[in-house]
Amino acid sequence: MARWSNQDSAGNGMFLLGALAGALVGAGVALLMAPKSGQQVRQDLNQGFNTVKDAAAKRYREVADKATALYEQKTAGDRFNGGTTAPISESFSSTPGTGGYQS
């Protein structure tokens, strides 16, 4: 049976970081060595940046909408926020020991 340790997980993280750095360096070298004019490279970079920016804005909006829906769902039953839970008089029994907090 394999055992995981902090050293193994740190090694995996460093490998992924190294792979990402290598990919970025490779992409940079490819841009510099490509047979394109500077204007074409700038246009490609600008278009790529705009695509990433639009995707990030869309994802942010989706997450914000989910968070808002979850918040509204959680607070819908909260009587202090205009919810529809039972009034306090129905929450506790008038007979001692049968409702509410017990000691």
Number of domain units in the chain: 1
Residue 101 inside a domain? The answer is no
pTM value > 0.75? no
Residue 71 inside a domain? The answer is yes
Residue 19 inside a domain? The answer is yes
Q: Domain containing 24: what range? A: 10-80
Residue 51 inside a domain? The answer is yes
CB contact at 8 A, 72 and 65: no
> What sign does the CA torsion over 81, 86, 90, 93 have?
negative
pLDDT by residue for the chain (103 residues), tens only, comes to 455 555 566 677 788 889 989 998 988 888 778 787 878 888 988 998 899 899 999 999 999 999 999 998 888 766 555 555 555 555 555 555 555 555 5
